[in-house]
Every structure is written in C-alpha cells, then in structure tokens.
Chains A and B, each alone.
Chain A
Amino acid sequence: MKLNLFSKISIKTLLFFCFFGISLSANENIEEKVKKLTLELRCMTCQNQSVYDSDADFSNDIKNLVKNKFEEGESEYEIKKFLAERYGEYILFRPFFNYNNLFLWGFPFILLTISLFFLIFKTRKK
C-alpha cells in the first residue's frame, strides 16, 4: 500500500509528538521524583531547611546527584542509602526503620500504650 505525501507527513508528525510527549513526561516524572526525595533530605549547611528548599551549594550538588541517580535508574531507597552511608541518617528527615532507630519509631506507640493502660486503669477505678 502506497501512502501519499500528506499521510507520510501526518504519521511522522504524530510519531514526533508521541516521542516528544513521552520524553517530556519522563523528564517531568524525574523532576517530580527529585522534588519528592529532596524534600525529605536535610540541607546540612542550613538551619532546618530541606535540600529542595535550599539554594546552598551543598543542596544544589545533592539535587544534581539525586537527578543523575534517578536518570541512571536508581530507586529512591538506593539514593537514600547512598546518602545515609556518606552523611549519616542525619541527612534524612525520616530515618530508616532499623534496629538502631527502633526506639525512635516505637516510642510513640509505647507512650500511647502506657497512656491507654493508665486511662483504662483510672476510669475503671472511678
């Protein structure tokens, strides 16, 4: 089947926009992922600012690093692990759930349980 010139141009234009759209959406996707992750990272040279919100040299380096690693196909967890191995979990606003942080994660629940027992005990007595 022979395509006329108009059809050929139409197909090529359609394909171009498809690829352009896919590439744009992939870029947007990475930008979103970078934003989400860097919002969870502490700027080590600022006071109570996330890497995303900071314009410090350190933060810009981390933003570039995160972007490059996402582009290389690394996952959010892998990037967080890479940074925590070098800067400590201090760089993470939300530390990993592991043996070292068990108390940190578990304490609110311990507090809640004790408070509930205390409340039940007191209301029963009344």
Chain B
Amino acid sequence: MNRLILISPLIILFVICLFVLIYLVSGKNPNKPPSALLNKDTPLFKSVSLYDDKTFINNESIKNKKVLINFFASWCTPCKVEHPLIFELANENPDLYILGFNHKDKKEDAKKYLKDDGDPYNFVGIDSDGLIALEFGVFGLPETFLINEDGKIIYKYMGPLTEKIIKDEIESLL
C-alpha cells in the first residue's frame, strides 16, 4: 500500500503525459500541418497575367469578392487530376472569382496546358519565381485557398481537390 502511495505521483504524471500526447497527436497529419494563415488577411501580392503582360492583379482587384485561389502548374500531375473539379466549382458558383497562380512554369507550357485542358480561371497570374507561393505558405502543388469578402483566408487545402472535399468542406463556405 505504502509503495503504491509512493509511486502514485509517477502514475499520475504518466497519465497526464499520455493525455497530452494523445491530444497533441490526434487528428493531426504531420505531412499536412494546419495553415498558419487561416483567418488572417490575404498576403500582399501582385502578379502579371499569363496572357497579357500589361494586365496585373493584386489584393485591390479581389476586394469584396469571394475568391478561390488555386496554385497550379503544367508540370504538376495532381493539378491535372483536380482540374475538372475547378470547372465544376466555376460552373456551380458563378459569383465565385477563381484566381489561378501558375507556379514556376514556362509561359508556353502553361498556355498549352490551359488550351488543351481548358481554362476555368477568371484570371491566371504568373508566379514564375515562387515568391507569391512563399507569401501564401505554399509548399507543394496544388494548393487551394478560399478568401472571403473581407479578404480573410477562410480555408486552405493542400493537394488535389476531390468531389468529397468540395462537398464536405468547401461548399458550405461558398
């Protein structure tokens, strides 16, 4: 009995540690850490159009709009997988402004990709040096962000979008 009392603090400590560990690890995927930008203002950006060197887009251009930002590239295979879904989103949500950032790509390749597979974006901005992606905390393609009318990032998804993700996570935010 005495022995049990003696080791009881250690048992309590062990139980606390176990609960803390379970809390810290549960539901978290170390490969997909939550975005630090969620509920924060859209980072400052300025990008030139893929189709016209004289047309630019910046934060001011998307003011008071609900915007879906999608980082993609012609060399990114998972981007091709989600591409038809971007069309679906565009068709089903005509008020949604879809902004694509063509990441570290060759202009000709990007244009060919969007010509062959179709262009679902309202605007395609160039992110040739990857600096816009760094501002948005992107570390792999494709990545998708949803911005509300106040300019706050309300959703981020890393990886190719799926029907399920759109239905379960995005539709309710649109």
Contact = CB atoms under 8 A, between A and B. Distances in A.
Contact of A111 (B6, B13, B36, B139): B13
Contact of A88 (B34, B131, B134): B34
B43 A61 contact: no
Given A118-B10, A122-B6, A86 B140 contact: no
Contacts of A122: 6
A58 B141 CA distance: 11
Q: Interface of chain B, helix or strand or loop or mixed?
A: loop
A89 B34 CA distance: 10
27 contacts: A44-B33, A45-B139, A45-B140, A58-B139, A58-B140, A61-B130, A61-B133, A61-B134, A62-B134, A65-B131, A85-B36, A86-B137, A87-B33, A87-B36, A87-B137, A87-B139, A88-B33, A88-B34, A88-B35, A88-B36, A88-B137, A90-B30, A111-B13, A114-B9, A114-B13, A118-B10, A122-B6
Nearest to A88: B36
A64 to B, nearest CB: 9
Interface in A54-84: 57-58, 61-62, 65, 84
Interface of A: 44-45, 57-58, 61-62, 65, 84-90, 103, 111, 114, 118, 121-122
Contacts of A58: 139-140
B35 A44 contact: no
Contacts of B34: 88
B95 interface: no
Contacts of B43: 86
A2 B140 CA distance: 66
**Smallest CB-CB A-B distances: 6 pairs:** A86-B137, A88-B36, A44-B139, A90-B33, A58-B139, A87-B137
A87 B137 CA distance: 5
B109 interface: no
A86 B6 contact: no
Given A45-B139, A61-B134, A122-B6, A86 B36 contact: yes
B135 interface: yes
Contacts of A90: 30, 33
A58 B130 CA distance: 9
A121 B36 CA distance: 45
Interface string B106-141: 000000000000000000000000110111110110
